[in-house]
C-alpha cells in the first residue's frame, strides 16, 4: 500500500508512505520504491543514493527484527529528507537467517555516517527509527 501526496500548506512539500510485510524479501521493494520516488521528486542522484542506502539498512533491520509489518515514510522538505521506518518488533535480536547479502543490514553505522541526525524510539507497539538527510532538491 502506498500513499504519495504533495502538500502546499503542510510542513513538507512531498510525503509518501509504504507499508510492507516485515520480511527480508521485501527490502528490495522498499529500496526501489525510494529510488523511483526520489527521482520523481528531483532529488539529486548522490543524495538519492545515500537515501537508498539508509532505507536499505533500516528496512533490513525492520525485516529482521519486526514481527508483522514495516512502514517506510519519506518526507521531503526544502533542504531535508526525513526517512522513518517503523515495525512491530523489539530490541531483542532473533537468530541468524539464511538470506542474500543484499537483503540484510550492514550495521546502523552506515545510517549514522550518512544522515545529518538519527533517532530511535522503542514503544509498546514497536520500534521507530528516524533519519534526517540533507537534501538540495
Percent of the chain with pLDDT over 90: 64
CA dist., res. 90 & res. 136, Å (int): 34
Q: So what's the pLDDT on residue 94?
A: 45
Given a contact cutoff of 8 angstroms between Cβ atoms, the answer to whether 115 and 132 are in contact is yes
Q: So what's the pLDDT on residue 91?
A: 60
Phi and psi of 78, rounded to 5°? 20, -70
CA dist., res. 99 & res. 87, Å (int): 19
pLDDT tens digits for range 76-102: 998 999 999 999 877 655 445 555 555
For residue 25, give its domain range.
2-134
User: Strand order in 80-87's β-sheet?
Assistant: 2-6, 14-21, 69-77, 80-87, 126-134, 117-123
Task: Quote the pTM value.
Answer: 0.81
Residue 93 sits in a domain of what CATH number? Answer: 3.30.565.10
pLDDT tens digits for range 12-22: 689 999 999 99
Q: Count up the domains in the chain and report the number.
A: 1
Amino acid at each position: 500500500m502506498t500513499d504519495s501526496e504533495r502538500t502546499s500548506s503542510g510542513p513538507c512539500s512531498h510525503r509518501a508512505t509504504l507499508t510492507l510485510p516485515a520480511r527480508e524479501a521485501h527490502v528490495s521493494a522498499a529500496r526501489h520504491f525510494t529510488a523511483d520516488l526520489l527521482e520523481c521528486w528531483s532529488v539529486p542522484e548522490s543524495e538519492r543514493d545515500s537515501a537508498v542506502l539508509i532505507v536499505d539498512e533500516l528496512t533490513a533491520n525492520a525485516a529482521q527484527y519486526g514481527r508483522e509489518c514495516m512502514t517506510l515514510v519519506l518526507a521531503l522538505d526544502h533542504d531535508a529528507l526525513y526517512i522513518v521506518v517503523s515495525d512491530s518488533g523489539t530490541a531483542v535480536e532473533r537468530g541468524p537467517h539464511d538470506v542474500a547479502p543484499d537483503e540484510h543490514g550492514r550495521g546502523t553505522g552506515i545510517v549514522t555516517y550518512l544522515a545529518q541526525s538519527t533517532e530511535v524510539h522503542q514503544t509498546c507497539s514497536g520500534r521507530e527509527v528516524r533519519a534526517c538527510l540533507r537534501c538540495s532538491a
